[in-house]
Amino acid sequence: MKLKNLLLAAGLGATLVLGACGSDDSSSSDTSKDESTMSDDSSKTNTAVDAEKIFANNCASCHGNNLEGNVGPNLTKVGAKYSSEEIQKIIKNGKGQMPAGILKDDKEIVAVADWLADKK
């Protein structure tokens, strides 16, 4: 019985963490959270969505920091193979071992897809 309760608690904890993750993308203007004090992005004009940063945070674990590939294929010439629209579809729907829905924000999906479509 005790063990069961423990497992239940662990499960609840995981659910809470997942829930928190899923719900914090609702308001983009909420600056009360962490990371708001960082000022190192003033060097770039496009601070709203930084495709390279998004890729580093969400895709590089599988595709490599320099697009060289890892679990996922090399993407250094992906723009020669796919248009931005096709890459957006891959990001939304997944492909083979690649999970769908890694990025939720359409702006981020388009930014990363445009950036990758330039790689040829």
Which residues contribute to the site for ligand HEC (CB under 6 A)?
58-59, 61-63, 71-73, 75, 78, 81, 87, 90-91, 95-99, 102-103, 112, 116
Q: What is the CA radius of gyration of the chain?
A: 18
Nearest CB to ligand HEC, comparing residues 32 and 46: 46
Residue whose beta carbon is closest to ligand HEC: 96
Per-position b or e across 11-26, b if 16+ CB within 10 A of its CB: eeeeeeeeeeeeeeee
Smallest distance from ligand HEC to CB 1, Å = 38
